[in-house]
Amino acid sequence: MSEGLGNFNEQDQRELAQFLEGENAKARVQQTVHTLTDGCWDKCISKVNNKLDRSEEACLANCVERFLDTSMFIVKRLESLRGAGGM
């Protein structure tokens, strides 16, 4: 792929790199949503019906909140380690 990039000027290469970075970020978000969906579904849904019952709704809401809380904790921890030169 790097051979093909030689045909682009520096600005085009930067724009392509930014585009690819954005696409990678989107893919990571999609993977996170998939992981969240699978994990919470397996934890909270015991049988498939046309409607969630109250306990399933509450479980899903709690599961999503805990997943997001944990993700934010990890991000903040990694940022603090990076800032302290630990990574």
pTM, two decimal places: 0.59
Query: How high is the pLDDT of residue 2?
Result: 52
Angle at 69 between CA 66 and CA 73, to 5 degrees: 135
CATH of domain 10-85: 1.10.287.810
The whole-number pLDDT of residue 87 equals: 55
Residue 73's pLDDT is what? 94
Domain coordinates of the chain in residue numbers?
10-85
Alpha-carbon distance of 36 to 68, in angstroms, equals: 9
Give me the pLDDT at residue 44, please: 95
Per-residue pLDDT of the chain (87 residues; tens, 9 = 90+): 455 666 888 898 899 999 999 999 899 989 988 988 899 999 999 888 899 999 999 999 999 999 889 989 998 998 998 888 755
pLDDT value for 63:
94
